[in-house]
Amino acid sequence: MAADVLGDRRLAVRAGLALVLANGRYWTSVAPIVRRELKRWRLRAEAIGDPKLRALALAKLDGEGSHAEAASMLATFAPRARRASVVEAIVALELLFDYLDGLSELPARDPLPEGDRMFGALVDAVTFPCKDSGGLVEQSPRCNDGGYLDELSRVASLSVARLPAALAITRVAQRVAARSGQAQTRMHAAPQLGIAQLEQWGRRGAEGTGLEWREFVAGAASSVLMLHALSAAAADPRTTADDAARIEEAYLSVCVLLTLLDGLVDYEQDMAEEGSQRPGYLSLFGDRSELVEVLGRATRRAATQARGLPNGARHVMLLTGVVGYYASAPGADGEPARGVTAQLRHELGPLMSATLGMMRAWRRGRRERAHPERVESVRASLKARSRDEVSGRPGAGGEMRSRFVGAARFRVAVGVALGAVAMIAGAAAILTTSAWGGSDSPRAQVARVLNVRDEGRLHYVRSFDSEIIDEGQASGTFPGRVKVHFTYTGEPTVGARFTIYSAAGSISARGSARLSSLTSARPSFRGTMKITGGSGRYAQIHGGGGLYGVYYRRSYGLTVQAVAKLAY
């Protein structure tokens, strides 16, 4: 049982302290390098000549860049002198894997050999000394990306090759990379070749692992996490080939969690985009009760194996980090993710409270950086105000702008600090709690004025003329069911009427926004919204704010985010 493993008070305390230490290291010596590397690869992706491949590479950076940021937490395991090389390797490997995942979804006449050839770049990325990816770009019209794929592979290989134990991890890393490519290729080929080829491969691979074939397939699919862990281990000159094999064994169970949780938190969005057929690896399992059983078993097995690794507390901390990453995602409040993540939080106990504090602070920081247009808008407003109101006072406008920029940075710092406080509180809970799995305290609902941030991932229900009706779950300040009437006439300006239904009452609003593109398959939009009414506890609610989101033209699905200040 996970509770039995984490019920070891000394291990739990060490894991909690490792979390606090990792958080400090991440923000001071890892995050700046991650941001630098992501900016570097964005500039490189923008230079891809083929418009479809350029769009794919940029979409992966926009939609999945957070994977590289989160995975880089493993770099905190490395000595400071070698940390930069580990971060560079992790970012390049993650971007390479995500890009290959997108490429493998493109139509292919013979998907299995083509997938092997494509994912050969991932194997080459963990082959030392550095090896070219076999001229992949020049030979394949599907990869006419001007060397982007090849460069990701080469940078990852060179970065790991600089680490003292690179040769000790090579054989295991190559095996892991090949297995990951096989899982992704065979899953994407299933609509064309059937599921039998995936099952046959999974049964062969699962032999001797203690996993059922579907668990093995899910674990193999996200094995890039193992490559990150092996890269971090290579920074320690004491790492041996046996250590690498033990990391592979332990992280296979962690990767089962990663794959299935990723599918769960994206379930509603995937349903909106892909239709009624349950997508991806979740489709291998029968129902929610089976998923709960599989994930619980994987959690317990991963916790036991992680404990046995060198510096086991760090790996236990990483396990809780994987669960916390997905449990803090917006989609974790929707179905079917909510009940499953709650069960895993129970399995892992008070350490999860600390981890969730860190992850939520990290997500707040990302949201601040993700909307620079809001910063520019307020900055322009302040600039105009400084000209109108403080003319004749030298330096006043600059002082006001400095105060604003300082305030923005202060909000990010407060988010990080709150995460640290939550982690320290979690560590204290570990020291004082005699039994694991206590329930969270209910959230107080006493504020009359709230800063609201809600997000809904919605699927198409029906339409009338130019009005599209979507429904789904909202997460955030006011979680509940959402119904949206989205008006699109083919013009850049769109309209929306929506209502959020919760146990305490409903909130209705109206807004308008402008699409970023009239030709994109997934145009974003941004605008304003105003509350039009409410019921129950929110009968007197009023206020307004910003309306943001993405419109999926093919499925008529929506992702909608409301950011507002409301009073009730």
3-state SS string for 389-439? HCCCCCCHHHHHHHHHHHHHHHHHHHHHHHHHHHHHHHHHHHHHCCCCCCC
Give the model's pLDDT for residue 490. Answer: 78
Amino acid 39 reads: K
In the numeric block, which tokens belong to residue 297? 């078993």
Task: Give the torsion through C-alpha atoms of 312, 314, 315, 317, to 10 deg.
Answer: 120
| DSSP percent split of the chain into helix, strand, coil, nearest 5 | 65, 15, 20
467 with 336, same domain: the answer is no
Q: Say if CB 481 and CB 514 are below 8 A apart.
A: no
**Inside any domain, residue 437:** no
295 with 222, same domain: the answer is yes
Choosing from 432, 463, 484, the residue where a domain stops is: 432
Print the domain residue range for 388. Answer: 367-432
Long-range pairs for 496-504: beta carbons < 8 A, 24 or more residues apart: 496/529, 496/547, 496/560, 497/532, 498/560, 500/454, 500/456, 500/474, 502/478, 504/445, 504/536, 504/537, 504/538
In the numeric block, which tokens belong to residue 125? 């990325």
Q: Say if CB 137 and CB 108 are below 8 A apart.
A: no
What residues form DSSP beta bridges with 494? 513
**Inside any domain, residue 442:** no
Give the model's pLDDT for residue 212. Answer: 93
CB burial of 289-305 (b: ≥16 within 10 Å; e: otherwise) equals eebbebbbbbbbbbbbb
Query: CA-CA distance, 355 to 327, in Å (whole number)?
Result: 10
Strands 480-487 and 524-534, sheet pairing: unpaired
pLDDT tens digits in sequence order for the chain, 568 residues long: 444 445 566 777 788 788 888 888 998 999 999 999 999 999 999 999 988 899 999 999 988 888 899 899 999 999 999 999 999 999 999 999 999 998 888 888 899 998 898 999 999 999 875 444 443 334 443 477 888 999 999 999 999 999 999 999 999 999 999 999 999 999 999 988 999 999 999 999 999 998 999 999 999 999 999 999 999 999 999 999 999 999 999 999 999 988 988 888 776 665 555 544 544 788 888 777 788 888 888 888 888 888 888 888 889 888 888 888 888 877 777 666 777 777 777 777 766 776 777 777 767 766 666 555 554 555 555 555 555 544 444 444 444 344 444 444 444 444 444 444 444 444 444 444 433 333 344 334 444 566 778 888 898 888 777 788 999 888 877 788 899 999 888 788 999 998 988 877 888 899 999 988 877 888 888 999 999 988 877 888 888 889 988 888 778 889 988 888 888 7
Give the model's pLDDT for residue 563. Answer: 85
Number of domains in the chain: 3
Query: CA-CA distance, 132 to 166, in Å (whole number)?
Result: 17
**Inside any domain, residue 361:** no
Q: What are phi and psi for residue 564, nearest 5 degrees?
A: -150, 165
Give the model's pLDDT for residue 387. Answer: 53
Nearest to residue 481, comparing CAs of 335, 282, 295, 321?
A: 335
385 with 280, same domain: the answer is no
Query: CA-CA distance, 357 to 347, in Å (whole number)?
Result: 17
- Does residue 240 come out as left (phi exceeding 0), alpha (psi in the -120 to 50 range) or beta? beta
**Inside any domain, residue 22:** yes
Peptide bond into 191 cis (omega under 30): no
419 with 499, same domain: the answer is no
Give the model's pLDDT for residue 269. Answer: 61
Per DSSP, 330 falls in state: G
Choosing from 402, 432, 462, the residue where a domain stops is: 432
**Inside any domain, residue 250:** yes
Instruction: Specify the CATH number for the domain of residue 153.
Output: 1.10.600
Helix (H) or strand (E) run with residue 52 in it: helix 51-71
Task: Give Cα separations from 364 to 44, 414, 453 (angstroms).
Answer: 27, 10, 11
State the first-to-last Cα distance of the chain, in angstroms, to the nearest integer.
45
Task: Give Cα separations from 444 to 413, 438, 440, 448, 460 (angstroms).
Answer: 24, 18, 12, 12, 34
125 with 18, same domain: the answer is yes
408 with 264, same domain: the answer is no
**Inside any domain, residue 202:** yes
Query: CA-CA distance, 153 to 60, in Å (whole number)?
Result: 16
Query: CA-CA distance, 335 to 200, in Å (whole number)?
Result: 31
Other CB atoms closer than 10 Å to residue 417's CB: what's the count? 12
281 with 155, same domain: the answer is yes
**Inside any domain, residue 148:** yes
Nearest to residue 564, comparing CAs of 478, 442, 470?
A: 478
Q: Say if CB 443 and CB 435 are below 8 A apart.
A: no
Task: Give the torsion through C-alpha atoms of 158, 159, 160, 164, to 10 deg.
Answer: 100
Give the model's pLDDT for residue 436. Answer: 36
Q: Say if CB 85 and CB 162 are below 8 A apart.
A: yes
Q: CA-based Rg of the chain, rounded to a whole angstrom?
A: 24
392 with 462, same domain: the answer is no
171 with 246, same domain: the answer is yes
Instruction: Specify the CATH number for the domain of residue 525.
Output: 2.40.350
Q: Say if CB 169 and CB 233 are below 8 A apart.
A: yes
Strands 542-552 and 524-534, sheet pairing: antiparallel
Choosing from 298, 320, 348, the residue where a domain stops is: 348
What residues form DSSP beta bridges with 476? 454
219 with 262, same domain: the answer is yes
173 with 40, same domain: the answer is yes
233 with 340, same domain: the answer is yes
**Inside any domain, residue 220:** yes
In the numeric block, which tokens belong to residue 212? 């059922």
